Structure 1
Amino acid sequence: MLTSFAYMFLLGIILSAICKKLHLPSLIGMMATGMLLGPYVLNCIDGQILEMSDDLRQIALIIILTRAGLSLNLHELKSVGRSAILMCFVPACFEIIGVMLIAPPLLHISLLDAAILGSVLAAVSPAVIVPRMIQIMNQGYGTKQGIPQMVLAGASVDDVFVIVIFTACTTLATGNHVDATSFINVPISILLGIAVGFLVGYLLTKLFQLLHLRDTIKIMILMSTTFLLLQIQDQFPNIPFSALLAIMSMAIATKQFYSTLASRLQFRYDHLWVVAEFVLFILVGASINIAYIQTIGVLAILLLLFGLLFRMVGVLICLVKSKLNRKERIFTMIAYTPKATVQAALGPIPLSMGLACGNLVLAVSILAILLTAPLGAFAIDSLYKKLLQH
């Protein structure tokens, strides 16, 4: 296992450095590392690491969301409040509808299979978007208009919404009944997650103000608390509760009630992210099987482009009454396109359930990661200084 980690980090550092020299996002090098070392090419990653990949990716996602919460200023977010709320579900709905319109005639699948495919594709990737929005906020681009804050918050809730839709569609595909409570649980899950996280964050800040602890110990307490929140979500599946939103909300509460501590913790979480980023994207790359993509090729690319076009229309609708100018709206549309972690997690599920669309969903999910993650990251990195006000 240790040898595998050595290969992963060393090759990942080399390929990431090459990508930076070519003015490409470093995550391309990390994903390429995973693809080369993964089970479908050189098979140099220990099986135990691959078995733990879901947990390792979860830890990386916790670090991402905590960093996001520690950076998020609620007062700045209020300036685009209505648009931020709409961004949580409208673009995803538009993308699902777009896929449902074009997938049946293009790929000869049923409307329900198209809905499953659309619900997998509709989620954006916090792993790609959140670190870039934090970087943009730290550099002072678009913050007065609340653009990176809006994208950051919307991307986090977007995933919760999409996962609920995906669960409902796969339940229908297996012949089970889906009632109205499945959809009513969406807002309950979001609101309960935010409320619990904010309460826990408030209590932790009071504890940290009372006790003199090193920042390293405080991070250990925060990380342990986030693990417990995830465990609560898993142990009580009948309770609509989003642990991921609770995690980000907990960090936002820390920012609100103890801003000096939040600044110090954000600096240390930035260091944690350096390692977590390598682990996350290398393992995402390791899950990619290029052979699947050859079965659908150009048709899948057309499907993805059509879905992204619908998503961009959804983003534009969210911004109708906002004060953003044309350049800022274009940036928001581009920033809301990268996909990676959710597709890597949900893509294999229909196949494991024995659904007829399983191979197709997995192949298109892989293609979505390969195309939108690097291209979206490259577009964000290249354009934010040109499209946003400093």
Structure 2
Amino acid sequence: MLTSLALIFLLGLLLGKVFNKLKLPSLLGMIITGIILSPYALNLLDSSLLNISADLRQLALVIILTRAGLSLDISDLKRVGRPAILMCFVPACFEILGVILIAPRVFGLSTLEAAIMGSVLAAVSPAVIVPRMIKLIDDGYGKDHSIPQLILAGASVDDVFVIVMFTAFTSLALGGKVSAMNFIEIPISIILGIALGIGTGIILVKFFKTFHMRDSVKLLIILSISFLLIELENQLKGFIPLSGLIGIMTMGIAIKQRYEILGKRLSGKYNKLWVGAEVLLFVLVGATVDLSYALKTGFSAIIVVIGALIIRMIGVFVCLLKTKITIKERIFCMLAYTPKATVQAAIGSIPLSMGLACGQQVLTVAVLSILITAPFGAICVDKSYKRLLVGD
């Protein structure tokens, strides 16, 4: 496993740097590193590492969502208001409906199979979006209408909504039943996640003010509690709906609101952690990609991905109607809300493992969505924010 980790970090950093020099996002180099090292190519990664790949990717997500919480100002979110709530689910609904319209004509799928495919595609990637929005907050871009905060908040909740939809659709495909309660669970899991995060953050602030310790120790404590929040979500699954990831981000927000000086210091620590976590996350995402799937139905799958993406962007535009957000800022939001990666890597193969007839097509589309949208979204944000957003 140690050799595999060495290859991941050395080659991931190297290719990331090469792509940076080419004025392309470093994450593209890291994803390609994963594809090269994966069992579907050179097969240089230890199987024991691949077995815990999902846990390692979740670790990286914990780091980036805590970092997002420590960077968010709650007053900015209040100022955004209605669009922030709509961005949590409206673009995803548009994308699912887009796939339902396109996939049956391209792949000959049933409406339910297309809905499963759409729910795999519809999740946006916090791992691609969050670091870029944090940079924009730090640099003061989009400050007037809190554009980075709007995208950060929406991207964090979007995944919860999509995964619930995916679970409902796959349950139907396997002959199960979906009740109204399945959909009521979405707001309940978000509200409970927020409440738990705020409570945990307040307790941690009181603890840190009472007991003196180094910031590095505080970081380890926060990381450990974050892992416990995810485990709590897993243990309560089927009984009480709870979003551990939203709880983690809200905990970061609470710490910043209650103890701003510590929040800034911890944010710097998490920035350093993200250097390694980013490489690990995107190389392991790349390692899940089997290009042979993509080559089999490549053009048809590309039509579905691009068509659904255009419809998703229309959904983002709808969310921003009747707001003071300028046309340029709306275009930026539409582009920034396109990247896919982590959720597609996590759930793209599940329909195939369930034995569903659409499993192969779903996996192919999930693979291509990562390869197309992760670099596309990252490049769009990196190249357009200075032209589309107002800076300090």
TM alignment of 1:300-315, pairs within 5 A: 300-315=301-316
Per the alignment, in what secondary structure is the counterpart of residue 296 of structure 2? coil
- Residue 203 of structure 1 corresponds to 203
Q: Which runs of 4+ in 1 moved over 2 A?
A: none
Percent of residue pairs identical: 58
CA distance in 1, matches of 2:236, 2:330: 40
> Any conservation in 2 of the 1:80–1:322 contact (CA below 8 Å)?
no
Q: Deviations over 1:257-305 (max 9, x none)?
A: 0010000000000000000000000000010000001121111111111
CA distance in 2, matches of 1:275, 1:168: 35
TM alignment of 1:138-149, pairs within 5 A: 138-149=138-149
**What TM-score results when the alignment is normalised by the length of structure 2?**
0.99
* Aligned-residue offset at 1:40: 0.7
> Any conservation in 2 of the 1:151–1:332 contact (CA below 8 Å)?
yes
Q: Deviations over 1:96-150 (max 9, x none)?
A: 0111011111210100000000000000000000000001111100022110000
CA distance in 2, matches of 1:311, 1:7: 37
* Aligned-residue offset at 1:4: 1.2
- Residue 136 of structure 2 corresponds to 136
- Residue 89 of structure 2 corresponds to 89
* Aligned-residue offset at 1:310: 1.1
- Residue 104 of structure 2 corresponds to 104
Unaligned runs of 5+ in 2: none
Q: Deviations over 1:316-341 (max 9, x none)?
A: 11100211111100000000000000
Q: Deviations over 1:67-114 (max 9, x none)?
A: 000000111122211100000000000100111011111210100000
- Residue 118 of structure 1 corresponds to 118
Per the alignment, in what secondary structure is the counterpart of residue 376 of structure 1? helix
State how many pairs are aligned. Answer: 390
CA distance in 2, matches of 1:158, 1:30: 24
- Residue 261 of structure 2 corresponds to 260
Unaligned runs of 5+ in 1: none
> Any conservation in 2 of the 1:67–1:270 contact (CA below 8 Å)?
yes
CA distance in 2, matches of 1:74, 1:235: 30
Stretch deviating more after TM superposition (12-21 or 108-117): 12-21
- Residue 291 of structure 1 corresponds to 292
Per the alignment, in what secondary structure is the counterpart of residue 178 of structure 1? coil
- Residue 369 of structure 1 corresponds to 370
Residue identity opposite 2:226 in structure 1: T
CA distance in 1, matches of 2:184, 2:269: 38
Q: Deviations over 1:222-259 (max 9, x none)?
A: 01101111111111112110000000000000011001
Note the aligned Cα RMSD (angstroms): 0.7
Q: Deviations over 1:184-228 (max 9, x none)?
A: 111101111001111110111111111111101101110110111
* Aligned-residue offset at 1:8: 1.3
- Residue 247 of structure 1 corresponds to 248
Residue identity opposite 1:294 in structure 2: L
Residue identity opposite 2:155 in structure 1: A
- Residue 22 of structure 1 corresponds to 22
- Residue 168 of structure 1 corresponds to 168
- Residue 276 of structure 1 corresponds to 277
Matched, 1:69 2:66: no
CA distance in 2, matches of 1:295, 1:36: 19
CA distance in 2, matches of 1:189, 1:373: 27
* Aligned-residue offset at 1:386: 0.8
* Aligned-residue offset at 1:13: 1.6
